[in-house]
Amino acid sequence: MSRPGSFAIVLRLAVAACLGWIFYGCAPATESPSPCTPPGSASVAPSGQPGQLDIFHKPLATGIYTADPSAHVFDGKLYIYTSHDLDTNRPDDQLGGQYDMEDYHVLSLTDMHSPAVDLGEILNVKDVPWAVQQMWAPDAAFKNGTYYLYFPAKDDQGIFRIGVATSSSPAGPFVAEKEPIPGSFSIDPAVFVDDDGQAYMYFGGLWGGQLEKWQSGSYDALGAVPASPQKAIGPRVARLSDDMLSFDGPVGEVTILDGEGQPVVEGDFNHHFFEGPWVHKHKGTYYLSYSVGEAQYMAYATSDDPLGPFTFRGYVLPPVQGWTTHGSIVEFQGEWYLFYHDASLSHIDHKRCAKVAPLTYNADGTIQLITP
């Protein structure tokens, strides 16, 4: 979630902002309640059918700033769990302090040609006994008749932990457990439930996400990213217990291999993991998508085992307006979609908006690069 300050990033944001005003005419969001009607709501869907909206590549919500969309199909409806960028202007401390986030919202879609509906706040930091600040990217899952919301937050020591909250409804509200998941750390939890019912949590993020500080197995405030060309740090993975509230066994590291079958090394900014892991399954193959960080692409790798290793295959999404990239991939009503975010609604890096785009697989299982 953190980023290096640079003139290049500022310049790219400025250029993208100008283009956004020219092509989309987006007005800044307000912090009043939605409706979530996206800009261009009078447009016609790609099918050309009158009365259908073209929601692709447009903000799903304009009443608030939403980021880190985690999309899931529950009971035939699409639910998108998002973090909420507050309309504040905290300084960039190089550790993500400018991303001011204290609660989660869920949006819903009944189909892909109608506006999203903001179902409101489903969890706030004030209702999490152990959490103090920075409610960053969440995820959700369903098992045993219960809906689970997983989320990172800093505790009273300033260390990121991962918590879980439960609900009887996918729309919440969710009630948080009194303590974080034992043995959890860092950010960006993503839970994948396999066909056999086994659930896995993938998580981790460098820099502001603190993943590099856990290389020894315990928190080291002086922990740093390895020097190039050492093996790059990978995301973490753990099996979840049957009750979905704890890890079932030790936390492991996911290895990402390059095209030659060798572990990706530090300094390979086009391939290495930075943050935002997401795992989905397509035709028996496991896909790990993630942000590479500095190069700002959303990459993906594949494996025949949910624990990896995963082999780099290409990119899902090129750089978008804003520094962070974070997304989820889901099948809905027979088609596949990528949910992602950018800063096109505000033209400010830490005030983002969730979007959706169609996703296409090639015959060999590779994913076609999406043009945002």
27 near 341, Cβ under 8 Å? no
Known active-site residue 294? no
Out of 68, 139, 188, 342, which one is annotated catalytic?
68
Query: Kind and range of the H or E element at 22?
Result: helix 7-23
Please give the span between the terminal C-alpha atoms of the chain, in angstroms, as a whole number.
Answer: 20
Q: What are φ and ψ of residue 187, in 5° steps?
A: -135, -175
The bridge status of strand 139-143 relative to strand 117-124 is unpaired
Known active-site residue 212? no
For residues 59 and 356, give the distance between their C-alpha atoms in angstroms, rounded to a whole number. 8
Q: What are φ and ψ of residue 334, in 5° steps?
A: 85, 0
Out of 118, 188, 275, 342, which one is annotated catalytic?
275
351 near 345, Cβ under 8 Å? yes
- Owner of token pair 């999203």: 116
Ordered DSSP codes for 236-304: EEEEBPTTSSSBSS--EE--EE-TTSSB-BTT-TTTS--EEEEEEEETTEEEEEEE-STT--EEEEEES
Burial of 13 (0-12, 13-18, 19+ CB in 10 A): middle
Catalytic residue numbers?
Answer: 68, 275
